[in-house]
Structure 1
Amino acid sequence: MASILSERTKILMIKVASYNIHKAIGTDRRRNPGRIIDVLNEIDADVIALQEADRRFGARAAAIPEKLLEMQSDYRAIPLDVQIDSMGWHGNAILVKKSVEVLGHDIMHIPCLEPRGAIMAHFQINGQPLAVFGMHLDLSGLWRRRQAAAIVKLAQDKEQDVPVVLMGDLNEWSAARGCLKDFTRAFEIVDCGRSFHSRNPIATLDRIMHSSSIRSSSAGVHDSPTARKASDHLPVWANIIVDTVQDA
């Protein structure tokens, strides 16, 4: 994270990322949360939205044990106060660096055919407020569009008070149609690149979007030897800039 000061304006650069961790099951079909943590440390973002962060069956326990995350990284999961053993809500979780001040969080019920949800967290990073929405949308195109419409409305309401970033696995294979049309009516989509499948990326399923008060300076797909094995998705990232005018 970097800050550049001018006479009247503070330019704050924040790194955000989104990562479908596939319940910590890698391309070798082994569950290894330590590899996921290694990838998180490689990304070194201020805020990371996770998808498939909880196991699928039973108590839906977190795919990454809390103690392991605490001991091996500088990240902590936003407490969503929903399920005791889970990290997220319907698999969605948000991680932040331990230095980030969390101001609030919420879970969102969205239209769904299969269990789906979205989450939001409100932070302050070096004095700059920011709201992040994390999501994992449906496999059905019809339900994706319904979910996108619901999330856009919630994000626009939040945008009146604070800059907004939206991140997640949209499950949208088209380049500019489907739910992407709904999101682009209100938010800008960052060109990160192809993230699925991690062994041979052919699809841009994982997306980062933001409000007009934010601009992205750089973005990409985190493609490392560990990331290719840790999950079937590669993480996507963006360095975003929020300009704030200083007092005279």
Structure 2
Amino acid sequence: MLRVLTYNVRRCLGLDGDVSVPRIASVIASCRPDIIALQELDVRRARSFGVDQAQEIARELDMKHVHFHPALKVMEEEYGDAIITAAPSCLIKAGPLPGMTRRPRLEPRGALWVRIAFGGRSFDIVNTHLGLGPAERRAQAAALLGPAWLGTEASETPAILLGDFNSLPGGRVYRRLSGRFRDAYRIAGRRAGPRCTFMSRLPMLRLDYIFVDRVLSVDRIETVSTPLARVASDHLPLVADIAVAN
């Protein structure tokens, strides 16, 4: 069973105003994931004390394989998303997703695609963080499902698409993605726990998702709402146990 976790860590800035990498790492460690997809990480940014948060979280968790994509880069300071794995993994692709040309000040968005060897099989993991505007999100979802990303010919390697989609269930982006993948919550059925991931202190919105290929099964999925998780970031982590269907 492959345990995957997605978590928007908001540059490790908690609701109490403290920036704490160890606290985020403790939340993650309590879930014992094999694969970690993180959004909103700071790397060498002054506001976060110059720390490479992706590497520091991996070090805290004793996980050796770290892949980071900066959606935003200014001089040496970077901000973006990461995939961290315990088992061997390799980068397939990292790059930007389309924004709105008429609104150049919108935060840049990207995606990160990693292949991991686990339990004698390979899995493709794609981590993303979509934009805040509906038109922006639709363009980004279309790009992810297009030939540059996951719209290539059928692969023998099953894929998991996860991250912060800034979208509600039933919306246009959700419907488009669930036409290609399956929402892990729908597969888990009665084995699913709480769904909402935002705002962490009083979660009322479901913005973070794990979508899986149709050859995969989901044994369990839930948000993690421990007292520590409720203060460590403005999102709650989402964790799922995934296997190849019989």
Classify the TM-score, shorter chain: 0.7 to 0.9
CA distance in 2, matches of 1:241, 1:48: 16
CA distance in 1, matches of 2:83, 2:96: 17
Q: Post-superposition shift, 1:235?
A: 0.1
Which of 13, 21, 25 does residue 37 from structure 1 map onto? 25
Q: Post-superposition shift, 1:30?
A: 0.9
Q: Post-superposition shift, 1:76?
A: 3.7
C-alpha distance 176-201 of structure 1, shift in aligned 2 (>3 A): same
Maintained 8 Å contact 1:62/1:85: no
- Which residue number corresponds to residue 4 of structure 1? none
CA distance in 2, matches of 1:179, 1:65: 28
C-alpha distance 194-158 of structure 1, shift in aligned 2 (>3 A): farther
Does 2:228 align with 1:239?
no
CA distance in 2, matches of 1:55, 1:202: 30
- Which residue number corresponds to residue 178 of structure 1? 172
- Which residue number corresponds to residue 106 of structure 1? 93
Maintained 8 Å contact 1:122/1:130: yes
- What residue identity is the alignment partner of 2:55? E
TM-score by length of 1: 0.82
- What residue identity is the alignment partner of 2:21? P
- What residue identity is the alignment partner of 2:113? M
- Which residue number corresponds to residue 221 of structure 1? 223
- Which residue number corresponds to residue 211 of structure 2? 209
Q: Post-superposition shift, 1:164?
A: 0.1
TM-score by length of 2: 0.83
- What residue identity is the alignment partner of 1:218? R
CA distance in 1, matches of 2:79, 2:56: 21
- Which residue number corresponds to residue 7 of structure 1? none
CA distance in 1, matches of 2:24, 2:4: 16
- Which residue number corresponds to residue 9 of structure 1? none
CA distance in 1, matches of 2:208, 2:57: 26
C-alpha distance 145-81 of structure 1, shift in aligned 2 (>3 A): closer
CA distance in 2, matches of 1:20, 1:81: 14
Q: Post-superposition shift, 1:242?
A: 1.2
Does 2:159 align with 1:164?
yes
Which of 194, 197, 202 does residue 196 from structure 2 map onto? 194
Structure 1 residue ranges (4+ consecutive) displaced by more than 3 angstroms after TM superposition: 55-63, 79-86
Alignment of 1:15-94 (within 5 A): 15-54=3-42, 64=53, 66-67=55-56, 69-70=58-59, 72-80=60-68, 90-94=79-83
- What residue identity is the alignment partner of 1:213? V
Q: Secondary structure of the equivalent of 2:144?
A: helix
For this pair of structures, how many residues does the alignment match?
A: 226
Identity of matched residues, % = 27
- Which residue number corresponds to residue 191 of structure 2? none
Q: Secondary structure of the equivalent of 1:28?
A: coil
Q: Post-superposition shift, 1:177?
A: 1.3
- Which residue number corresponds to residue 116 of structure 1? 109
Q: Post-superposition shift, 1:125?
A: 0.7
CA distance in 1, matches of 2:3, 2:46: 34
RMSD: 2.6
Structure 1 unmatched ranges of 5 or more: 1-12
Which of 135, 138, 160 does residue 131 from structure 2 map onto? 138
- Which residue number corresponds to residue 141 of structure 2? 148
Q: Post-superposition shift, 1:103?
A: 3.3
Structure 2 unmatched ranges of 5 or more: 101-105, 186-193
C-alpha distance 65-109 of structure 1, shift in aligned 2 (>3 A): closer
C-alpha distance 138-65 of structure 1, shift in aligned 2 (>3 A): closer
